[in-house]
Structures are given as C-alpha cells and as structure tokens.
A and B are shown apart, each in its own frame.
Chain A
Amino acid sequence: MAAKHPESARLLAYDCLTPFGDVAETHRALCEGRRALAPVPVLGSRGGDPVPLALMPGRGLDEAPLPHWLGGIRGLAARIPGGDWGRPGRPIVVTSSNFGVGSLYSYRHDGGDPSHLGHGAPFSSVEWLRCELGWGADITVFSHACVSAHLGLVHAARLLARGLADEVLVFSYDFLSPFVAGGFHALKILNGQMPAPYRRQETGSIALGDGAAFAVLTRDRGEHQLVAQSLFNELHHFTANKADGSGFASVLEGLREAAGGRRLWLKGHGTGTLEAGRLEAESLGRCFPGSPLVGWKGSLGHTLGSCGLVELAIATEALRRGQAPGTVGTEGPCFIDEVATAPFATGGFDAVLCSSNAFGGAHAALLLAHA
C-alpha cells in the first residue's frame, strides 16, 4: 500500500441538500433512477427557452429579497455535528461558484430593491450565512468554478496535516438564478435537451441544479477516508479543455500511486457535454480499465461549485449502504463500455474515485474509501 498522502483526511460527517432532500433521500432517488430535472424558462419569470433545471421544491429561479434557499441551508447546517465552528481549532472552509449572485441579478432587473445587495457579493453572502448560522469568523472562502469544493477539501486536509485545526468544516452552496442559467444558455451548452452523461450522441447538453453539502474532516476519526487528492489546471482556454485530454490524464496521474492495487469504481464529472464527456470517460477508462463509471448530473443537474461536495456525500452514502447509483438519464452507446447506467453493489470494490472539472481546464479528483 502507498504511503499516506499529504492530503488525506478522515471524513467524520457529511450530508447534502438537493431537490430530493438530504443525502439518504438523494441516494435513494438516484438508485431508483429518478430525475429532479424539469423544464424551466431560462430567465425565470422573464421567460426564455425552457431548459432542464433541478430547483429546490417550491423555489422559483428568480431570487427573492430573502433567498428562498435559506430554509434549506438552515436545515442542512442543523445536521452538522458539534459546535464552535469558525473558532480556533475548528475552522470553516466555504466554497461556491455562485454565492449570492442571483441577488445581484434580481437587484439589477427586478426594481432595484436594495435588500438584495446584502448577500450579493461573495464576502457578503458568506458573512450573511455566517450570521444566520452562528459561525465564528475563521472562514476561508475558495471559488474556482466547478472544482471549488475540491479546493476546500484539499485545504482542509492541509490545515489538519499542519496541526492548524482539530476538525474542519467544509461547506458549499450553489443555488441557481437567471444569471447562471442565462450564461450557460448563452454558451449553448444548456439547451432544451435532457442531459445524458457519457452517451455517444449527436448533440450534448448539460442541466443545472441547486445543491449544498458539508463534510467534517478530521485527522483520525470517521468511518471513511479521503485517501488522496489531486488537482491540475490546464490554463489552455477559458472554457475548453485541451483536445488531447492531457488535463484529465494529469489529474488522474496524481492519484495513480494511491489507487494502486485497489479495485475502484469511478464517480465522474459527467455533465452531458460531448467533448468533455468523451475526454473524461476515455481518460478514466485508460487510467483505470475495467472500473465502472457513473455520473449523477443527469438527475441532479450540475450543482456547479458545490458538485464536488454534493457528490462526495452521495458517494460516501453509497459506500455506507453498499449500493452505487448508476448514470441516471443515460442509455444506449456510451464513450466507453464501463459506463454503468444501473445501480450496482459496491461490496466488490475497495474505493471510489470522485472527479470534477471546471472552466479554465481545471481538474480535481479524490480517492474515497472505508477507513
């Protein structure tokens, strides 16, 4: 077995919030092949093309002066064990790509209600949450598009390894708005089609989803372990990946030693885009041949900066329950044969590799196993 990785940590607690509910409800829904996605006008109350979005129950795409998602966040935060978060020894790492940017959109386009501004900027959104949830001020905020949550996990492990924390709370939240839906629609990757991650087809499409999650990391307590983590940034293009797939391969290379000798299943990024999906699937297939590959954004949509933590929670729940959800929304020919479209038992595997990708050719991956 390889030496302990400098960014390994134990996972003491985890949960997530999706339109299906908490992590247990989300895991069950995924195993049953259900989709949280529904067509929603891309600009919310202002109309536009219908696009597949997974919104929290009862929530519209338009942001209210007091964001509708606060109740869900409060419920999620209530499930975080322990107290004194954000105080010495118990720092918080918050990650997001959206923060409260939907509030800025509403301020600009819905009459200029200044109450939107109290949580529109990243720092004010986090500060508002901090006050709502009673956290202390030791909060580090990372934002790196759709690998944001992975950076939080890497940083948390570093804080633990350097003795700067006894436990670290990593908390991530991303809720949709016309701001982000309009952006992806303008890029023509959010269209009216439901996503089918890793499916070999004529046109691709992503979907977007609301999501939040937390993980409590420790040095030596918890039933699951982040065995190793890896990052890589191509910095080749603002949105596209290098056509040779080298970015995908490079991030996986960082985990190859830690993965050695383990039987893996793979939870990929799998948004539903064609080129990135093909490059990702082929890289995973080459690096870990024979390992089943799943992606869950065909049901939950892409929860953006929070996807790494939302999907880590689901993957951990899958290990705990012994069943991994399949690639919901995908059927027919796929980029590689290993794409698993149906749920499968995790008992025959030693670990799961979870990966995420982002604009700028940013890649992140981690290896999760029973401790």
Chain B
Amino acid sequence: MPELYIQNLNTEMPGLEEPAATRERLRACFPAGAARRMTQLGMLVGSVLGPLNPGPEDVLVYASGFGESRSLEAYLDSFPTASPTLFQTSIHPSGAQQLMIGRQTPLRRFFPLSGGRQLVAQALVTALVQEGGRVLLCGGEERGTWLRECGVASEHSLAFALELAHVRSEGSLGRISLERGGGDEGLSLHDWCGLLARRQPFSGDAGAGWSLALEWF
C-alpha cells in the first residue's frame, strides 16, 4: 500500500458551538453575504478547505457520517409544506458543495463518503487509490438537536481538511500509511479530527480491517 504525505492541514473543533456563533466567528472566511446562506457544516468545512484552494484538477474526498443534520431536522419539520431549500441543503454532500458553488469552481473528481466507524479508513483508502495530482481529504460534522437526542446526529461540530501528496517533499508535515490487518471498528471522525488538530501520532485500528499509522515530521 503506498503512503500519503500531509502537505497542509486545517482543523476546526468548535464542539458544542451553536450555528449563529459559528457564523459570526467564520463570516470573514467567505465573500460578503455568503455566510448568511451557509449551514454550520458548510461554514466549518468551507473554512478549513477554502485555504487549500481546491481547483478543477484536484481530487476531493469528503467524509461526513451525518451530513447536514440541522437542515435535515428542519426539512423534516417543514412537512406537510416541504421546504425546497431545506430539501436541497439536506442532501449529502452539501457541506462541501457550499464552498465550491460559492467559488464557482468545478471539480472532475469528487468523492463524498458517508459511514460510521469505518468512515475514516474508507476515506483514506479512497484518497490512497487516486492517481496523480493533489488529493484533498476533508470532512466534518455539525452538532444536531433532536436528531442528536435520537442518536442519529453528531454530538460535536468539527471539520478538517488535508492536502495530500503521494511523494514526500521538503514541506511535508506528516505521513499516513494503511496496512491490512486491523480490526473492524476504528476511529470515529471526531477521534480522527482530534489527532489532526493535536498533531498526535497514531498507530492502531482504522476500521474495516485496516491498520493506520499516522506520523508527524
């Protein structure tokens, strides 16, 4: 299995922060007026992915287990007069699309994943099998309300974005390698984001039968 090298890294771990506070805090990351129309997940992902300047020839891998929880909650509550806007924004992968649509930047290769305790491993495998060029791996969650209480939305808001390369360079920050032989249950997206935010090494089960080594230079 080839390795991937971390060239750039941004994380956001606002935890229990409410969407209004996120909007106020991250407003400056987006064009004037844009944040008003963005979801919390869209702002979080946009704020970490945006500085990596995704372009048309990049591969974008996006991982979110729950996706647009707040929009989903609000859309479900809009019945019997279903909201077309909330329907649109509740659909995976809106969290990553909001930045890209705002910038009017097309992408040839965009791989949005969902999943549970195998999500981190599968997102990494998806990044690893790409050929050539930059691979941008991002992801995130937004803290839900009534869906969270039902166990079908995230407890925490978070986002991460990695610029990855297949070859080590002088500026590489770290190395990710996967090998067969791990357990079925692995890192949650929250665990993964925490490792990245703290630049903490890791060696252990990534999930789905993969073993992960995360090293920092």
Contact = CB atoms under 8 A, between A and B. Distances in A.
B113 A141 contact: yes
Contact of A108 (B76, B107, B126): B76
Interface stretch (B9-17, B25-33, B96-104, B195-203): B96-104
Given A105-B76, A155-B129, A183-B84, A143 B114 contact: yes
B112 A143 contact: yes
Contacts of B122: 139-141
B112 A6 contact: no
Contacts of B88: 187, 238-239, 359
**Size class of the contact patch on chain B:** 35 or more
A144 interface: yes
Identify the interface centre among B109, B115, B147, B153: most chain A CB within 10 Å of its CB: B115
A344 interface: no
A223 B213 CA distance: 40
Which of B67, B83, B92, B109: most chain A CB closer than 10 A? B92
B125 A46 contact: no
Nearest to B147: A104
Contacts of B129: 155, 158-159, 161-162, 164
A359 to B, nearest CB: 6
A169 interface: no
Contacts of A138: 118, 208-209
Contacts of A123: 65, 114-116, 119
B216 interface: no
Contacts of A99: 114
B5 interface: no
Interface residues of A, number: 65
Given A127-B116, A137-B184, A183-B87, A143 B110 contact: no
Interface in A277-324: none
B65 A88 contact: no
A235 B106 contact: yes
Contacts of A46: 80
Interface string A106-148: 0111000010010011111011000000001111111111000
A237 B101 contact: yes
A231 interface: yes
Contacts of A120: 150, 152
Contacts of B185: 137
A164 B184 CA distance: 17
A196 B103 CA distance: 35
Contact of A143 (B107, B113, B208): B113
B70 to A, nearest CB: 14
A48 interface: yes
A273 B97 CA distance: 23
A189 B182 CA distance: 47
Contact of B108 (A144, A187, A233): A233
Nearest to A107: B150
Contact of A359 (B79, B91, B126, B180): B91
Given A158-B129, A235-B100, A238-B94, 14 more contacts: A88-B180, A109-B76, A122-B65, A123-B115, A140-B115, A141-B119, A142-B113, A159-B125, A184-B87, A233-B107, A235-B97, A235-B101, A235-B107, A250-B106
Interface of B: 1, 65-67, 72, 75-77, 79-84, 87-89, 91-94, 97, 100-101, 103-116, 118-119, 122, 125-126, 128-131, 147, 150-153, 180, 184-185, 207-209
